[in-house]
Amino acid sequence: MTKKVLVTEKLAEAGLSMLRDRGIEADVRLKMPPEELVAAIPAYDGLIVRSATKVTREVIEAGGRLRVIGRAGVGVDNVDVEAATERGVIVCNAPTSNIVSAAEHTMALMLACARNVAQANAVVHAHEWERGRFTGVELYEKTLAIFGLGRVGGLVAERARAFGMRLVGYDPYCSPERAEQLGVALFDDVDAVVPLADFITVHLPKTKETIGMFGPDQYARMKDGVVLVNTARGGIFEEKSLADFLAAGKIGAVGIDVFEAEPCRESPLHEFDNAVLTPHLGASTREAQERAGVQIAEYVAAGLEGSIVPTALNMAPVPPEVMDAVGPYVPACQMMGSMLAQIHGEIPQFLKLCAGGELAGADPSILVAGTLKGLLSYKNTATVTPVNANAVAKRHGIKVETASAPDAGGYASRVSIVADGTEVACTLAGESQAARLVSLLGYKLDIAPAGQSLVFEYVDAPGRIGVIGTILGEEGINITTMQISASPEDGRALAYVNVEGEVTDAVLAKLRAGLSDLKSLWHVRL
């Protein structure tokens, strides 16, 4: 069945094209009322929004097919992440798409405040010419306090340093090494930083700790004439008291791009000429919109395909080095899970995954999720995502164990899976990193499984392959590739045969009747 994604806000055409190129149907339906979204979402596997669409618990619970929610931007305040997690729905964002734009807008607001750009512009547009009122200040050799030294804060530090500014900062999660690299003198106390700054900019998430982080007490400790800038989240600067300190002249100017309630049509800041206010433009550049659309489309497609979603917010983050190592094995594990479901026939009670060679030591949780997805999704037993893999395994009574081994059996890396004694292992080969079976039921192999295969286990004797070829030929079924592996210890052999054509129950019955000493025959579809 074709996967379908609902896009409820404007997305770059390149992002929509990426979805469609990967065989995903993308429906764009803008400005949907909440009740219309609830009614429509049951038909979709994925949802892409920006900041205006409210993805509530009601929406998520109505989305029976929903597997991924993508936010084309950074914050996910408009998504009920808890409800999504409960239902195994991945919530992801595009956190790096607009960081350059946000950093540049921060500098734009800082310069506009320092040089009275907005006020002077208004005077000239009014056909007047005044210069004395608009004498500004330089950024050079001024002290900038940066609160939050993550991606955007770090870019602001780099740009402010180019202006010759002295940098101080506060971020409890920033290492001293990163602060030193950015040229920021790091403090561990907000109140110690505030009195030092000529300019203050915040780049913090919206949390209980950051909302109202700056209020009357902090404003009173600031330098006279300080300039405040916020392109992060509304409410970090408490607005009412901010207006009071602007009126008193304690604060020289503010540049605000984000507000507690948006659209913001009523604010005590509106009456001040030295308050430069913009309507949440931090990410509003052509480049950022393009990046956000492409990135979120890529991540949503990955989630629908069962691959790693590196920006998933409701699962353990996957570091880039781990993703590089284990990511290519996720589709292979899904394939092996599906194969185990068809060969084993029942939901196993015990599943063990072992990562070997170069994979040894890497976090295998995403590989387990891929295996469970293939194992349980084959007969629509359950829908598995990395978000709910552990919960699904527990609900079905599957005990999962993982291990690692430095030896990969002669390969650079490989993954082996055992489900109640039924074993399969694979490695990746070639530039395309295609999966190749290297072991099945204890038999050594080296074959790339096709979409349809026949697996024979029989007592090894001359003529067996001839019989298989004759029967399949008579039925118009073509053998594309095949490999045989013998087990001299017990006199058995296994033939893995990739085929093209319709393999009916009648064909399977004819094969069973024609092969003496046939132990097992499986028709595997991948």
Residues with catalytic function: 233, 262, 280
- Cα–Cα dist 158/160, whole Å: 6
* Maximum pairwise Cα distance, the chain: 103
Closest residue by Cα to residue 13 from 21, 2, 1, 3? 21
Q: Give the Cα separation of 367 and 377 in Å (integer).
A: 15
Whole-number Å distance between alpha carbons of 158 and 151 = 11
Q: How far apart are CA 452 and CA 488, in angstroms?
A: 28
**What amino acid occupies position 525?**
R
Could you tell me where the beta strands, DSSP code E, fall in 99-258? 143-147, 166-170, 185-187, 199-202, 226-230, 251-256
| Contacts (Cβ under 8 Å, ≥6 apart) of 262 | 234, 279, 280
Write the burial class of residue 372 (CB in 10 Å: 0-12 exposed, 13-18 middle, 19+ buried).
Answer: buried
Report the Cα 124 to chain-centroid distance in Å.
47
- Type of residue found at 506: A
Strand pairing partners for 482?
A: 497
Collapse the DSSP code of 415 into the 3-class scheme (helix H, G, I; strand E, B; otherwise coil) and give the result.
Answer: strand
What is the DSSP secondary structure assignment for residue 214, as one 8-state letter?
B
Task: Find all residues with CB under 8 Å of 489, minimum gap 6, and list them.
Answer: none
- Cβ 331 vs Cβ 435: under 8 Å: yes
Tokens encoding 341? 């479901």
Name the packing angle between helices 464-474 and 505-514 (round to 10°): 150
Q: Can you read off the two tokens belonging to residue 44?
A: 């979709």
- Can you give 151-162 as a three-state secondary structure string? HHHHHHHHHHHH
Cβ contacts of residue 35 below 8 Å, gap of 6+?
Answer: none
